[in-house]
Structure 1
Amino acid sequence: MSKIEQFSPERIADRMLIQHLMARWCHAVDRLDAPGMLACFVPGCIDSHGPYIGPVEGLVGWILERHQKIHFSSHFIGNMLVDFVDEDTAIVETYVRTNQQYPPEAKAAIAQFTGGASGAEDCYVDVFTSSRYMDRIIRIDGEWKIAERRLIQDWKRLDEVKVQALAPKEGWILGKRDGNDESQVMRREFGLE
């Protein structure tokens, strides 16, 4: 373990900032917000993300292309183990669960992400994953950013969707991935985005 004090008031504040960074990443991916995704990383850093390994700029392009047909994506972060190497560097392991729904025409995107499996040809498929982000996070000009990411994949599950359960009624607010999700609209209303 590092000799730096792991739970001083300064480190506790840094832990909260790192947790916020991870939440911002998940929000940006689920909203297909390319500038938001890129803002979480040091430019040019390498992400080893299973089928994609390379600079983060390419990762964002890969996500935008792969997610074109995905109508729903939700990343949930859980356990987060933060170990400070020094005042400006932390090694962070974050558990992440994803739920995504793929329409029948998106089988190639599923197969790319699973290594081959894609579900029945004629139905929607819900994809559930359990993974961990293994990140080196550094502080640059007072802001924490991901400097290196390794996605550790623990399991994936495909569920063929027999019935689409959501049947929205007039006035219901539905999630969007086009820059006009209610979370983005409200932030803009209050000058936060």
Structure 2
Amino acid sequence: MSAKDPAVSRFPVPALTDMPADIRERIEKVQEKSGFIPNVFLVLAHRPDEFRAFFAYHDALMDKPGNLSKAEREMIVVATSNLNQCQYCVIAHGAILRIRAKDPLIADQVAINYRKADISPRQKAMLDFAVKVSQSAHLVGDDDMETLKQHGFDEEDVWDIAAIASFFGLSNRMANVTSMRPNSEFYAMGRG
């Protein structure tokens, strides 16, 4: 899809040439690496300051070192995005999960019902907590922390899980409001 394709968003999508230089450069780097421009970059470029803030926080959560693997971080996104009915994030992050986990089935399993997915008890505990944060954070309590601790998660891990679930709650809602469409390229990534 091009930046002018109305199916990308229900809001105006600026042409690449009209974007601020830093945003255009970031998008071109992503395009060079992946072979296409994920629609989230085009849609969020509508508001440059928010684009910068969004991707700064995204990168801080998803690219940092820590006890959560990059695949586990993507599992959180896929499981919570499914519950938030975010087609874009389930499809796009499902593709990334398949690649990072080196497993063509994992994203579909996690998206549909992570409790029956071929993941470890530790990962199920992680996703139970992420889902609770996503759907009913007001019910999070000390018992949740104890359960995660029993599965080897420390306080920083708990923060990461909660932050990822929370951040993608925002992302899911904006993707739904903007009617952001997943790129067709995502559907086949990591399956073969």
TM-score (norm 2): 0.26
Query: If each structure's helix is expressed as a fraction of its own residues, which one has the higher value?
Result: 2
TM-score (norm 1): 0.26
Instruction: Please tell me whether Structure 1 or Structure 2 has the larger radius of gyration of its CA atoms.
Output: 1
> Larger relative CO (CA 8 A, sep 6+): 1 or 2?
2
Query: If each structure's strand is expressed as a fraction of its own residues, which one has the higher value?
Result: 1
